[in-house]
Structure 1
Amino acid sequence: MTIKAIGLGQSDAAIRVYVKNRPNLIQFQTLSDTLPLQAGQIAQINAEAGNGWRKVFNVYAKWLYQLAPSCLALKSVDTWQQFRDETLLQNHSQTALLFSEPDVTDPDAALHIIAGKTHAKELAANEQLGINLIWLNDEFAISPAQRIIVCPYFDYRQLNNAKIDILCELIHTHIKL
C-alpha cells in the first residue's frame, strides 16, 4: 500500500515528522501534496496559526540541531533558530512535517517520527499500515526495522530538553542516520 505524503517540507525528506492536525489556515486545509516552505513562511504560519505552531517549529528545529549538527543542511547555520528560519521544511532541507500516514514500506528508508502517543496508537491500530511498535515507556516507542520512533508531541512541555536527549539517543542507538 503506497501512501501519498501530505504536509510541509521536502517530498523525499530523510526525516519525516508526523502530526495529526494541520495548521488552521485555509491554504493547508485542502493541501494534497508536500509543499516546500519558503524563507519567512514559518514566521507567517506562527503569526497566523498561533503559538502552538510556533512551538512545533521551534522544537523540531531545536531537536534536529541537537541530533545532527554536522549534517542535514546544518553546516551553514550557527543556531537552531537560524536553521528554523532559513532551512527547516524547505527544499533540500531533508525535513518534512506530514499530516498523512507514514509509508513504512518506503524504500528510501526515511526516519519516521510520530509526534504524540495518541496519534501513534491511532496509526498503529490501522492494520493496513503495518506499524509494529515496541513501547519503551509511557511516552516513547520504537520500530527499528520500520525506522519509526514515537515521542511526545512537539511542544516545550511535552518534549522538553531532557526528552529531546532521549529522542536523540534512541535515534543514535536504534536507527542510525
Structure 2
Amino acid sequence: MREKRQACIGLGDINFTFAVYIQNQPNMEQWLGVTTVVPLQETDIEAIGRACGNGWRKVFNVYAKVLYALDNNDFQFSQLAATWQAYRDQYLLQENSATALLFSAPALNLVEAEADKSKRTVHIICGRTYAKQLLNSEQLNTELLWLDEEFAINFEQHIIVCPYFDYRQLSNIKIQRLARLLSQLLQGKYK
C-alpha cells in the first residue's frame, strides 16, 4: 500500500520515495508557477544552472552525490549510472527516478504506513534554519532528535535534517555521514 500524501510542489517524480525539501526554488518562469511535482527532462538541470546560477548547480550536484554515496544494499540509485555526474544528467528528478526536490512543506500526513519500512519515503530537509522555521510555523508537526547542530532525525516518519545542499555546508565528509544516517533510518536505529 502506498503512502497517501498532501499536495506537493516541486521537481521530480510524482511517485517519489526520496524527497528533499528546500526553502527556495529556481527563479525561472516555467518553475515558479508549478502546483504539483513536475518531472525534469535531461537538459533541464543544465538550463536551470545556466539561468539561476552556481547555487542551483551546487544543489543538483550535491543531490546526485548524496544518492551516489548511499549504500547499495539500501538504495539502488548508484547502480543506474557509472558516475554521480551521469546519474545527475540522466536520472535525477526525472520521471520514474523516485526522486523529488520539493518547495512545499514536508508531506508527512501518512494515512497508513507500508508494512515494509524500506519502501517508505525518505524525507530530507535541507538546513537547520529551514527545519526550525517549519517546526515553528507548524508546517512540520513532528519531533526531531537533534544529533548535533546540523543533523536531526525522526525514525518513525523517516525524516532527516541535514546541512543545505551546498559544497561548503554539506561537504563530502558530511555527505558520507548523511548516507550512513539514511541507512540507519531504514534500519530503524541510530548507531
TM over 0.5: yes
Shift of 1:128: 5.6
Whichever residue aligns with residue 86 of structure 1, its letter is: Q
Return 92-101 or 60-69, whichever deviates more: 60-69
The answer (yes or no) to whether the contact 1:140–1:151 under 8 Å persists in 2 is: yes
**Are 1:146 and 2:149 matched, yes or no?**
no
Q: Once the 2 structures are TM-superposed, how far is the Cα of residue 175 of structure 1 from its aligned partner?
A: 2.8
Give the gaps of 5 or more residues in structure 2: 115-119
CA contact (8 A) 2:5 2:108 kept: no
Give the 3 Å change call, closer, same or farther, for CA 53–44 of structure 1 in structure 2.
Answer: same
Quote the Cα distance in structure 1 between the aligned partners of 2:71 and 2:42. Answer: 21
Q: Percent identity?
A: 47
For the residues of structure 1 that align with 2:43 and 2:76, how far apart are their CA atoms? 19
TM-score normalised to the size of structure 2?
0.86
Task: Name stretches of at least 5 consecutive residues in structure 1 with no aligned partner.
Answer: none
Counterpart of 1:110? 121
Distance 1:69 1:51, change over 3 A: farther
Task: Give secondary structure in 2 for the equivalent of 1:150.
Answer: strand
Written as runs of structure 1 = structure 2, the 5 A alignment for 1:27-176 is 27-69=30-72, 71-106=75-110, 107=113, 109-127=120-138, 129-176=140-187
Q: 1:96 to 1:128 in 2, by over 3 A?
A: closer
Q: Deviations over 1:28-55 (max 9, x none)?
A: 1111110000111101111111100000
Q: Secondary structure at the match of 2:142?
A: coil
Alignment length, in residue pairs? 177
Q: CA deviation at 1:68?
A: 4.1
Distance 1:2 1:14, change over 3 A: closer
Secondary structure in 2 matching 1:58: helix
CA 1:104/1:162 → structure 2, altered by over 3 Å: closer, same or farther?
Answer: same
**Equivalent-residue separation in structure 1 for 2:17 and 2:76 (angstroms):** 9
In 1, are the aligned partners of 2:67 and 2:77 still within 8 Å (CA)?
A: no
Q: Following the alignment from structure 1 to structure 2, what is the Cα–Cα distance between the partners of residues 72 and 158?
A: 25
Instruction: State the distance in 1 between where 2:150 and 2:77 align.
Output: 29
Quote the Cα distance in structure 2 between the aligned partners of 1:76 and 1:154. 22
Any runs of at least 4 consecutive aligned residues in structure 1 with deviations exceeding 6 A, and if so which?
Answer: none
Q: TM-score, with normalisation over the residues of structure 1?
A: 0.93
User: Is the Cα contact below 8 Å between 1:140 and 1:152 reproduced in 2?
Assistant: yes
Correspondence for 2:117: none
1:72–1:94 contact (8 Å) kept in structure 2: no
CA contact (8 A) 2:11 2:101 kept: yes
